[in-house]
Amino acid sequence: MRLLTLCGVCLIGIGISPVGLIAEDDALSSRYLPYAPDATDAVKSDLAKLPKLERYWRTAEEIKAARSADALPLEGLRLVIDPGHIGGQWADVEARNFRVSESDFWIREGELVLEVALDVKDQLEGLGADVFLTRTRNEPLSTQPASAFISEAIEGMDVPVDSDSESMSLFNELVLKKATQMAAVRGELLARADWINDEIQPDAVLSLHIDAAPWPKSDLHELVPNNHLHVLIFGCLSKAELLAPFQTFDLLVKLQNGSGGEESELGEAMARALKEATGLPAFTYEGENAVLLPNTEGYLWARNLLLLRKVQCPIALLEPYVANSEGVYLRLQEAIRDRKMGMDLSESDLLKEYAEAVVAGVIDHYASSK
């Protein structure tokens, strides 16, 4: 047995030979390191030292090839649907909780996308897929309490010079609030990634979200006019992020297992389906926190988000609609009302539209042509 230390991580291998370098230098410099081109050679060097790690997922073509002629359209596909955020009592902590007037229903992203995820699961299972949800209720998957993040929360905070009870009480309150937020967001995302990689090991993951725009500074209850959509896949690491050993290691794992190409194709299929279902224009990122994938009509972007980086199989994060836009807010109010009152859902129901678009994208990418 031999040990290899890479990027501060000790890896154990048993006679495993190093893998070759990434085949497409272009993808490394344009998708993964667009704003850190001088780091490309170092990443390629580290990649050559990484012991071979077997991938647990299969490509769409591999799944189709193993499917019998008389099988259901999605038979053999193993898919995780991730309803983003948590919802419920956690919505305030996540800052995913708002309404324009007191008579309106609360808009809680975690609750809305869970409705979509449950609908998607039913439809895809009817087509033969094995579908798993990261959560089935408005509760976290993670069992780590906020107290586990106290030390980390204190880092970077100014400890009060005065040790009087009022100052310390306020400081402790701020620390607990920050630790609770870290547990609900970062701790939860890490728990989901571990569950996906270690227990479920699916062929792909779709993380469902609903976007939102900054509120106008003039009025925090003034809905915005713009509405749009985009899809995210992994990429776009900055120089600062590459200095974090575990971020570099996650990048190397994704490069080595070849998820990038399959992830792009999955993201493109989802973007096409969402565009066709909603008719929405593409969202455009400004700055260096995202990079546009070519030939995707502006809908598919790469970002270095925690879940996208940690999940080792192809993963796409969907961001259709702007929840606090004029048209979407009213449609969400109607969708919540109809479900609470047990009414039949209309053809224009936004959550139903979302679910059907997700199913269409999965069929586009994974179904065998008959």
Task: Report which residue type is found at 354.
Answer: Y
What is the distance between the alpha carbons of residues 291 and 270, in angstroms, rounded to a whole number?
Answer: 18
Amino acid type, 234: F
Quick one: which H or E segment has residue 229?
strand 229-234
| Euclidean distance between CA atoms 204 and 130, whole angstroms | 11
User: Closest Cα partner for 108 from 324, 350, 259?
Assistant: 324
Q: Can you name the residues that pair with 131 across neighbouring β-strands? A: 79
Task: Spell out the domains of the chain, with CATH numbers in brackets.
Answer: 2-141+185-366 (3.40.630.40)
Q: How far is CA 132 from CA 11, 199, 268, 270, in A?
A: 30, 11, 22, 18
Q: Is 250 exposed, middle or buried (0-12, 13-18, 19+ CB in 10 A)?
A: buried
Per-residue confidence of the chain (370 residues) as pLDDT tens digits? 223 344 444 443 323 233 334 445 578 989 999 999 899 999 999 999 988 889 999 999 999 999 999 999 999 999 999 999 999 999 999 989 999 999 999 999 999 999 999 999 999 999 999 999 999 999 999 999 888 989 888 887 877 777 777 777 888 888 888 888 888 889 999 999 999 999 999 999 999 999 999 988 766 678 999 999 999 999 999 999 999 999 999 999 999 999 999 999 999 999 999 999 999 999 999 999 999 999 999 999 999 999 999 999 999 999 999 999 999 999 999 999 999 999 999 999 999 999 999 999 999 999 987 5
Model-level pTM? Answer: 0.91
Q: Are 114 and 85 in contact (CB under 8 A)?
A: no
Whole-angstrom CA distances from 150 to 173, 326, 359 are 11, 39, 41
As a whole number of angstroms, the distance between CA 356 and CA 274 comes to: 9
**79 forms bridges with which residues in the sheet?**
131, 204
Burial of 2 (0-12, 13-18, 19+ CB in 10 A): exposed
Q: What is the CA radius of gyration of the chain?
A: 22
Burial of 58 (0-12, 13-18, 19+ CB in 10 A): buried
Provide the sign of the torsion angle of the four alpha carbons 245, 250, 254, 256, taken in this order: positive
The per-residue DSSP string of 13-24 comes to ESSPPBPPPPS-
Position 25 scores a pLDDT of 59
**Selection from 319, 56, 306 nearest residue 191 by Cα:** 306
| Cβ neighbours for 241, distance < 8 A, ≥ 6 positions apart | 247, 304
CB distance 292 to 283 below 8 Å: no
Only one residue has tokens 């990079």, namely 291
pLDDT at residue 169, as a whole number: 83
- What single DSSP character describes residue 322? B
CA distance 340 to 112: 12
